[in-house]
Copies of this chain bind each other. A is one copy, B any other.
Amino acid sequence: MSEGWGGEGWVGADSAHMSPAQFREHGRAVVDWIADYLERVEDLPVLSRARPGELRERLPAGPPEQGEPFAAMLRDVDELILPGLTHWQSPNFFGYFPANASGPAVLGELLSAGLGVQGMLWSTSPACTELETHVLDWLADLLDLPAAFRSTGAGGGVLQDTASSATLVALLAARERATAGAGNTTGLAATARLTVYSSSQAHSSVEKAVRIAGVGSANLRLIDVDDDLSIRPESLAALLTADSAAGAVPVMVVATVGTTSTTAVDPVRAIGELCRRYGVWLHVDAALAGTAALCPELRWLHDGVELADSYCVNPHKWMLTNFDCDAFYVADRAPLLAALSILPEYLRNAASASGAVIDYRDWQIPLGRRFRALKLWFVIRHYGAAGLRAHVREHVALAGEVADWVDAHPALERLAPVPLQLVVFAHVDGDVATQALLDAANDTGEVFLTHTRVRGRLAIRFSIGATLTRQRHVRAALALLDRILGPSATSPYPVGAMP
């Protein structure tokens, strides 16, 4: 190959591959770039101000014929990419739910990429599978999850990319169980109509899974919610009874511990008792909130979770492990494996045939899988249980501060309880004023907040959870909102009087 674009190569002098020496040099540059980025990210406008097409106009129309120096890529990241980013790692990011990363997680991801092993089968890299099983047992310890979810029993844990995939995989296992396999073999055209249940507050991934699995969105029953936006068990019972009477087969109920809109917590125990009575699979989606169970004083969130057939929590949301990392547990792995296990000749191997090992490809949609457990292992070991708990407690306390501020502000009304790290509120003058407040805050670039609707009212979500967020960032955000709302005698944080 040409000598113009790379040097010695990993092996041999005639290659364009990046050599180990070059990898060391460029790798340091990227590590330093990230460290620099994290040092300055709080000063960048949180929400990107790019307009549609702006980046593409600045990129070459076609790929280069010859290779380019690595420095050119890093320069373009600075000049072209950075202005087009919304900074999820900014301490001033209060939008959606957090997708928080941390040093040990990022380095675990790097190591996983550098090793480049495949964990589809135990035999394709035994440590990749065994570390995952082990760390998921550790996580079950940390969150005090039921014994049935440990690898020592009939169930166990597996890492998925997201809670969306976890919900889908749960539905596939539930469908397998409810149809005695017919859904997978003869297909749903030959089965009775299937039904799935969640509250109106559940994540959109429930409807997505219901569509993908061929159940049909018309067969997703939305359960009525109580004043606190959690499922009313009697409403669920009525739906289950009516659907069964109509000849449908109820397949799965999704209970949400910490809804996306308001962190409402469904009554898992009451729902679980109904599911047992009706023989319906219970999936508990604790994608954000499950992390709170690190702290014993917040484990009321998980009350009744021992009645669940499956459960998920996303360490990539609030447990300092960069996306993607969803921990999914089942109480019984048999229907999951029956639904997803297919063994072509080219994947047969002695270890799998022995039955002594886990092959995680049978626990997920894709076949291939990377070594995701490394980053979670690094995070748990770097922080320790004590550090992880301290992180959660800090954010919960900060959310309490925001809630108190909202409650004390005459122009604002809080629209939902604050069990965790999310405060949902509106302007008392209505949706137009709420939207104006939200837009004005986001337009400054100093914060990023997102919205939802609560009982029809537009609401602002103040969601705390970025790794870098500290008290001073939250207080600065409140001061900003105060400035926008104008002087108020009763606000505890008048302009210019920040503690």
Contacts and interface: CB of A to CB of B under 8 A. Distances in A.
Q: Which of A20, A48, A110 has the most chain B CB atoms closer than 10 A to its own CB?
A: A110
Interface string A97-123: 001111111110111011111100011
A169 B56 CA distance: 26
A75 B102 CA distance: 20
A6 B369 CA distance: 31
B370 A323 contact: yes
Contact of A18 (B53, B86, B104, B182): B104
A30 B23 CA distance: 11
A214 interface: yes
Contacts of A385: 63-66
A387 interface: yes
B340 A141 contact: no
B54 A126 contact: yes
A365 B211 CA distance: 11
B346 A67 contact: no
A215 to B, nearest CB: 5
B204 A188 contact: no
Contacts of A345: 261, 451-453
A278 interface: no
Interface string A195-212: 000000001110110011
Query: Quick one: copies of this chain in the complex?
Result: 2
A187 B212 contact: no
Contacts of A2: 386
Contact of A34 (B110, B133, B347, B378): B110
Contacts of A84: 125-128, 130-131
Contact of A217 (B124, B185, B322, B391): B185
Contact of A165 (B15, B34, B366): B366
Contacts of A42: 11
Contacts of A207: 342
A4 to B, nearest CB: 9
B365 A212 contact: yes
Interface string A128-150: 10110110001101100000000
A375 to B, nearest CB: 8
Interface string A74-85: 000100111111
B164 A52 contact: no
A205 B368 CA distance: 11
Interface in A388-426: 390-391
A302 interface: no
A192 interface: yes
Contact of A67 (B10, B11, B16, B383): B383
Contacts of A188: 187-189, 214-216
Given A219-B187, A367-B204, A116 B134 contact: no
A64 to B, nearest CB: 5
A50 B116 CA distance: 18
A106 to B, nearest CB: 5
Nearest to A205: B367
Contacts of A165: 365-366
A162 interface: yes
Interface stretch (A234-242, A305-313, A349-357, A476-484): A349-357
A321 to B, nearest CB: 10
Contacts of A66: 384-387
A467 to B, nearest CB: 6
Contacts of A205: 367
Interface stretch (A88-96, A327-335, A488-496): A88-96
B6 A118 contact: no
Given A345-B261, A346-B451, A73 B104 contact: yes
A85 B115 contact: yes
Given A32-B24, A208-B340, A384 B187 contact: no
A24 B390 CA distance: 24
A211 to B, nearest CB: 4
